[in-house]
A and B are shown apart, each in its own frame.
Chain A
Amino acid sequence: MQDLGIEVLFKGNNFIRLLAGLWVSVRLALIAMVFSILLGFLLGMIMTSKNRIVRLICRIYLEIVRIMPQLVLLFLVYFGAAKHLGINISGEIAGVIVFTFWGTAEMGDLVRSALIAVPKHQYESAYSLGLNKTQVYLQIILPQTIRRLLPSAVNLLTRMIKTTSLVVLIGVVEVVKVGKQIIDASRYQNPNAALSIYGVIFLLYFAVCFPISKLSAALEKKLQS
């Protein structure tokens, strides 16, 4: 039987290193996601503004983020900041900035569509009961918005976890990079390690993202009833 190189995984602390690398990816995604959710809610509310200029600015921001590949944004922030602003930020911080920039736009658009999906009369019936604006948002609109948002927000989180692998290109040692190091280090003893190592990375990503999407489905169900 052909050697699949799977034993490389158990040499030294290779597997622990892979897990640590995975944690770097997930941590980056989680931090960016927390910022994205907070800023995204703000952006979403701003995007429902009646002011056309405000809406236009938000629209332009959203389009820029959508058109620009995240990789270009990463290079722009990481190398651009060093070259032109003279700021030497770490790859991870550049990653957080870029993924927050991206996530905020995506999240903002999700929040916006969830907000406008709440019928106008929901606001009106709440107002006519004497609730003030803050109470209407906190008690009536946001709970309904979150319900609508949950599936797509979790989807965004899994997308973000996957996309963070790009930071490997600005020198952050995350799971894919660790995998590459392991493969390179064992090139002579185990020339076939690539398949099994990348296979394991695939399974690791699956192990992280699958429970998250299951969790979202369960939460959605619970909130419905």
Chain B
Amino acid sequence: MAETILEVSKLTKSFDGGSAVLNEINFSIKKGEVVVVVGSSGCGKSTFLRCLNFLEQIDSGEILLDGKKIDISAKALPKYREKIGMVFQSYELFPHKTVLENVMLAPLLVQKRNKAEVKAEAEKLLARVGVAEKKDMYPRQLSGGQKQRVAIVRSLIMHPEVLLLDEITAALDPEMVREVLQVVLELAKEGMTMLIVTHEMDFAKAVADRVIFLDQGEIIEEEPPEIFFGEPKTERAKRFLNTFHYEALEDK
């Protein structure tokens, strides 16, 4: 059995003292595993991902990487984030840097790697996701799909242990969704450990080893995709899945 990379126990988070957005979440992900988190909007799935990278402060609970509790001091946090890649819905490439500069920034600055080696790897990765010829362009000259593929490369070049993908196709035109998801599927095939939040149910079905259904800050279901999409156990999950079938709605 593969080793556990990331482990979360009793993670609780609320905003401004309101009701809990995440309530005592227990979760773990193994090396090479792809876990997809689904749920209706506002269920806390994005917050969950952001907590894992400490972009949101957690109220209580523990997060362990390779069995070690995370030190969240300002000095130690960058070291941890280095190992956790994150890709956002809105790409967030740095607009004042070219594609290549975007990709090379963190390896040079944070990991102090050799420039020639980083450049070679950056070019290789960009070629792999099909944007090699864009390397000297600025983000604004790229389409949404291209930007998102560059953003994935920017995370990958750090050799993260886990990749967090937060609704990475939600801002894309339908025809661009596929080119981005194709990249993610390939990563999954190569054994990249990923935690994915998405609204693309077909994609979730195809890529997931395990699906987590989150509702009102709690994990309601956690099982292989065939079971979750085939015969969900809870009423809430059934209702959620039904919203993706228009005929089913009309039947009611």
- The chain A residues found within 8 Å of chain B, CB to CB, are 119, 121-122, 124-133, 135, 139-140, 143-144, 147
Contacts and interface: CB of A to CB of B under 8 A. Distances in A.
A86 to B, nearest CB: 46
Given A122-B94, A127-B78, A128-B53, 5 more contacts: A124-B92, A128-B85, A128-B155, A130-B82, A133-B74
A144 to B, nearest CB: 6
Contacts of A132: 74-75, 78
Given A133-B74, A135-B110, A128 B94 contact: no
A127 B109 contact: no
17 contacts: A119-B90, A122-B94, A125-B86, A125-B92, A127-B53, A128-B53, A128-B81, A128-B85, A128-B155, A129-B81, A129-B82, A129-B105, A129-B154, A129-B158, A130-B110, A130-B111, A131-B110
Interface string B94-112: 1110000000011001110
B82 A140 contact: no
A129 B92 contact: no
Given A139-B105, A144-B96, A147-B96, A127 B55 contact: yes
Contacts of A126: 94
B124 interface: no
A128 B74 contact: no
Contact of A121 (B79, B81, B88): B88
A122 B93 CA distance: 8
Contacts, number: 63
Which bucket holds chain B's interface residue count? 20 to 34
B106 A121 contact: no
B86 A130 contact: no
A130 B78 contact: yes
Nearest to A140: B94
Contacts of A144: 94-96
B58 interface: no
Among B82, B85, B94, the one with the most A-chain Cβ atoms within 10 Å of its Cβ is B94
Nearest to B96: A143
Contact of B106 (A122, A124, A129): A129
Contact of A131 (B75, B78, B151): B78
A205 to B, nearest CB: 34
B92 A130 contact: no
A13 to B, nearest CB: 49
A147 B138 CA distance: 15
A125 B88 contact: yes
Contacts of B55: 124, 127-128
Interface in B109-155: 109-111, 151, 154-155
A129 B88 contact: no
A51 B94 CA distance: 28
Interface in B62-89: 74-75, 78-79, 81-82, 84-86, 88
A121 B105 contact: no
A129 B155 contact: yes
